[in-house]
Amino acid sequence: MSDFQKDNVALMCDIGELVGLFDFEAGLDSFLAKAVSTVAWHMRAAVCSIYLYDADTRDLVLRANQGLNPNLVGRLRLKIGEGITGAALQEMRPICEAKATDNPKFKYIPGSREELFVSFLAVPILRKMNPVGVIVVQDPQWNYFTPNDVQALQVIASQLAGVIENAYLLMKMRRTEEAQSASGPAAAGQGFGPGTHCIRGQGASDAMGMGLSTRIGQYLAHAETGLACPLGLTEADFDRALAVTERQLLDLQRRLEDRIHDAASMIFGAHVLMLKDEAFSGEIRAQIRAGKNPWTAILDEVRRYADLFAHSPNPALREKVLDIEDLGHRLLHNLSPQTFANNGPDYSGQIVVAEELLPSDILKLSAERAAGLVLLGGGQHSHVAILAKALQIPLVIASDRRLLDLPEKTLLLLDPKEGQIVIRPGPEAIQTMKDLIRSLADAERLAAEVKPETRTRDGVEIQLHANLNLVTELDVALNMKAKGIGLYRTEFPFIVRNTFPTEEEQYWGYRRVLDRMAGRPVVFRTLDIGGDKALSYFPVDHGSNPFLGLRALRFSLRNPEIFKQQLRALLRAAHGNSQAKIMFPMVASLDEFVAARDLARVCQAELEREGVPSRLPELGVMIELPSATLLAAELAEAADFLSIGSNDLIQYLLAVDRTNDEMAPWFSPHHPAVLRSLKLIVDAATRAGKPVSLCGNVGADPRMLPFLLGIGLRTFSLDPMEIPAVQRRIAQIDIDLARYQMNKMLSFGRIEQVAGFLKSIDAAG
């Protein structure tokens, strides 16, 4: 039977199908029973079973089955490592057998009737790399399951893990006694007086924004919501609002997946599950039948859940506070849209003011068309800021807590370039902002200015590549005529999700980037987790200084099961793509690079044994640490290429936290130690005959470009929107003069000497 007939593609893509099967009133076992039936139908398999892990007994328990003896459901238990099923969970990998009895781990279960079935495929279900269970399919036909089936079932296991996780959390919350009521909100501080006010902050994106202020869940904070409770609403109105809300959420999910293929995994899944939870919607309905106005019933129940989540000891539940507040806003709007006046169910035209937001919240607000964001805390280089920049959402980070007390629908202007928030602007400021937004939106004009080639004044060709965080930025990079992708930050699809993406999901994401770049070079940097980039679903104790903790390559080497999944996906994506490359971040020693390289070779050997098409591409090192700088010669000999990560290199050389705005004056790219380190690295690569590039903000600094060209750098990787300006600056530089400036700058031992020299060049024009 062909894979097409098995309908694997439909099963993998229809994420909403599995979520839609969940019914809290019927319970988890009913959901699992429907899930095995759905999987068996799509894969045309005679048997499908789901085992869930019991943490108390450390057993796998058969919780749902189609095709075997139904009497075993709830009774059959396997230890981790017992049978092929237990081995799949123990080894955290799929096990596919043409003939199950050939596997030494095979364990016959009397009375199961599995002697009728020959082919066997078991895939572990993992949540945050913790055991959830195993999904198994079997069939009487020998060698029935193909590599495509393995990949499909891995995606299905990932989808099941997400649904089960949310289900466990919500059901656990339902069993938990209501926490003590949250203490009342602190008295509001002195707010902004009438008229226009300008607040200084730190800009964290290039887009300009204008809109009406709002806080997610603002109407939940006080009994006086400022919104009149509509009269005459009925249970039928509530049911209609419930149905409309579900359709909107599923549509938002589809739109997000179309736009951001690599990071949109069930971002709105918790919202949908909450709607289906009878303890939520059923309780609202019960209150309505008892005589309560539907509006008040929704408001009271949303407040109760928000309070429960906020005071839960479970961090995963605490992170869902914004989910329930957002859901409440949408339900109330759909119940009585006229009460919300200009506000729609989404945040279109509104600037969201919040103390903090998760990366997944940024994605949600992007999908809901928020006009901008104001955050009370964080930094320009935080993962939330980088994500907002990638999605072109205006973001200003400020410290003035009076912003939290702004009345709803206060007109705000955001100028992230200047780090300004203008409150209640006048007519002239509004018109100026409109003109700026129109001019900045003219990306086509900006792209038209970029020449096909970048050359210095004396004709030396320079390669300008783009930095990418998400696949959605590819269009900008291509419009700006980037010669390739010098840095694809693979961690962002991990950061914005609720659980680890599977090997198969990663593979398709990387393939999509390579296909779109059509033969241009693409450098994939492996996971750079840690520091200011944390996974909410995989907590790691980084100590009191996370930038010196378990991060980047250290994290990957410490967690080989995660690292191998990523490496396998990258090696598979590199098949048939000669320009795909892999780069390891935060390499501190030659030993670490060799360990990562050896693991990549192990993955390549595994894929060859499995008959999966793959290729071991060039492997490079990102030089970001002082230790790697001193070992640049050895690393250049061992690696296929080097890339200088200038932002972190400066941070670690100068002991300056680049996310701390208070330390900005000390973050100096023209510090003599930085200049000499850059020269040392480029010289080492040149002697070894290996390519070297520079990635980071220094490459877009017009005053530093002559120095960088002078030491021999010819490839730069930048934010794609910076390419036009950098190209224009390079066209003004003569290489011989750049070498003179470079030697002069290297001769200085004090920062002020370098700064004075640069100032004299600026004055000379």
475 and 436 part of one domain: no
Per-residue pLDDT band at 225 (split at 50, 70, 90)? very low
Is residue 383 among the annotated active site residues?
yes
The answer to whether 247 and 241 are in contact (CB under 8 A) is no
371 and 330 within one domain = no
Contact residues for 222 (Cβ-Cβ < 8 A; gap 6+): 185
Question: Looking at 40-54, 297-311, 441-455, 581-595, which range is the least confident one?
Answer: 441-455
Amino acid in the structure at residue 55: A
CATH number of the domain residue 146 falls in: 3.30.450.40
pLDDT digits (tens, 9 = 90+) for 11-38: 544 545 555 555 555 677 888 888 898 8
Please report, for the chain, how many H helices and E strands are present, in that order.
Answer: 30, 23
Q: Specify the amino acid at residue 415.
A: D
Q: Can you give the CATH number for the domain in which 248 is found?
A: 1.10.274.10
Helix (H) or strand (E) holding 760: helix 751-764
Number of other residues whose CB lies within 10 A of the CB of residue 296: 14
Q: Which residue has the higher pLDDT, 50 or 32?
A: 50
Domain end position, chosen among 308, 335, 362: 335
Average pLDDT rounded to a whole number, residues 137-147: 93
The stretch 574-597 carries a mean pLDDT of 96
Between these two residues, 469 and 700, which has the higher pLDDT value?
A: 700
- Which range of 283-287, 347-351, 536-540, 682-686 scores highest in mean pLDDT? It is 682-686
Q: What is the number of alpha carbons within 13 Å of residue 134 lying toward its C-beta?
A: 30
pTM equals 0.61
Task: For 570-677, list the strands marked E by DSSP.
Answer: 580-584, 618-623, 641-645
In a domain, 447, yes or no: no
Does residue 189 sit within a domain?
no
- Does 224 reside within a domain? no
Same structural domain for residues 248 and 395? no
What is the domain range of residue 107?
A: 3-175
Same domain for 239 and 132, yes or no, is no
Same domain, 143 and 282: no
Partners of 489 in the beta sheet?
Answer: 525
- Mean pLDDT confidence for 239-243: 91
Cβ(61)–Cβ(52) below 8 Å = yes
Phi-psi region of 553 (alpha: psi -120 to 50; beta: other; left: phi over 0): alpha
Q: Are 227 and 340 in contact (CB under 8 A)?
A: yes
Q: 162-176, 277-291, 340-354, 597-611: which has the minimum mean pLDDT?
A: 162-176
Q: 103 pLDDT exceeds 90?
A: yes
Asked if 548 and 432 sit in the same domain, the reply is no
Produce one character per residue of 3-24: b if its CB has 16 or more CB atoms within 10 Å, e if not: eeebebeebbeebbebbebbeb
- Comparing 292 with 175, which gets the higher pLDDT? 292
pLDDT score recorded for residue 532? 55
pLDDT (tens digit, 9 = 90+) per residue, 524-558?
999 987 655 556 556 555 555 555 666 789 989 98
Residue range 128-153: mean pLDDT, rounded: 88
Domain boundary among 335, 368, 385: 335
pLDDT surpassing 60 at residue 416:
yes
pLDDT of residue 540: 56
Q: Judge if 432 and 504 occupy the same domain.
A: no
H or E, element range at 651: helix 646-654
Nearest-angstrom CA–CA distance, 526 and 596:
10
Q: What is the chain's mean pLDDT, rounded?
A: 83
Same domain, 383 and 437: yes
Residue 91 domain flag: yes
* Tokens 């590199």, located at residue: 574
> Rounded to an integer, what distance in angstroms lies between the CA atom of residue 464 and that of residue 454?
7
Phi-psi region of 116 (alpha: psi -120 to 50; beta: other; left: phi over 0): alpha
Tell me whether residue 695 is one of the annotated catalytic residues.
yes
pLDDT computed for residue 155 by the predictor: 80
Beta bridge partners of 54: 59
pLDDT of residue 106: 93
Q: Are residues 405 and 479 in the same domain?
A: no
Q: What CATH number did the domain enclosing 485 receive?
A: 3.20.20.60
For residue 249, the SS3 value is helix
In a domain, 190, yes or no: no
Of 48, 96, 603, 695, which one is the catalytic site residue? Answer: 695
Residue 412's Cβ-side half-sphere holds a number of Cα atoms within 13 Å equal to: 32
Tell me the pLDDT band of 325, cut-offs 50, 70 and 90.
confident
209, 113: one domain: no
Q: Please, which residues have CB within 8 angstroms of residue 642's CB and are 6 or more apart in sequence?
A: 620, 621, 622, 623, 632, 635, 636, 681, 684, 685, 690, 691, 692, 693
Does 186 map to a domain? no
Please compute, for residue 566, the number of CA atoms within 13 A of its CA located in the half-sphere on the CB side.
Answer: 24
- Our CA angle for 651, 656, 661, nearest 5°, is 110
* Domain's final residue, options 441, 470, 491: 441
pLDDT for residue 330: 85
* Amino acid residing at 32: L
Distance separating alpha carbons of residues 364 and 375, to the nearest angstrom: 16
What is the C-alpha separation between 39 and 121, in angstroms, rounded?
13
Task: Give first-to-last CA distance, the chain, whole Å.
Answer: 73
Is the pLDDT reported for residue 240 higher than 80? yes
Overall average pLDDT of the 103-127 stretch: 91
* Within-domain flag for 223: no
Question: What tokens does 278 get?
Answer: 């009878």
Among the listed residues 333, 383, 465, 671, the single catalytic one is 383
How far apart are the C-alpha atoms of 581 and 37, rounded to whole Å? 41
In this structure, the answer to whether residues 377 and 406 fall within a common structural domain is: yes
- pLDDT tens digits for 602-658? 999 999 999 999 999 999 999 999 999 999 999 999 999 999 999 999 989 998 876
Does the structure show a pLDDT above 80 at 496? no
Looking up residue 371, the CATH number of its domain turns out to be 3.50.30.10
Task: Give me 347's structure tokens.
Answer: 């945040």
pLDDT of residue 189: 36
> How many domains does the structure of the chain reveal?
4
Structural domain contains residue 183: no
* Residue 514 confidence class, pLDDT cut points 50, 70, 90: very high
Residues 419 and 456 in one domain: no
More reliable by pLDDT, 193 or 713:
713
Instruction: Compute φ and ψ for 55, nearest 5 degrees.
Output: -65, -25
Q: How are beta strands 454-455 and 461-468 bridged, if at all?
A: antiparallel
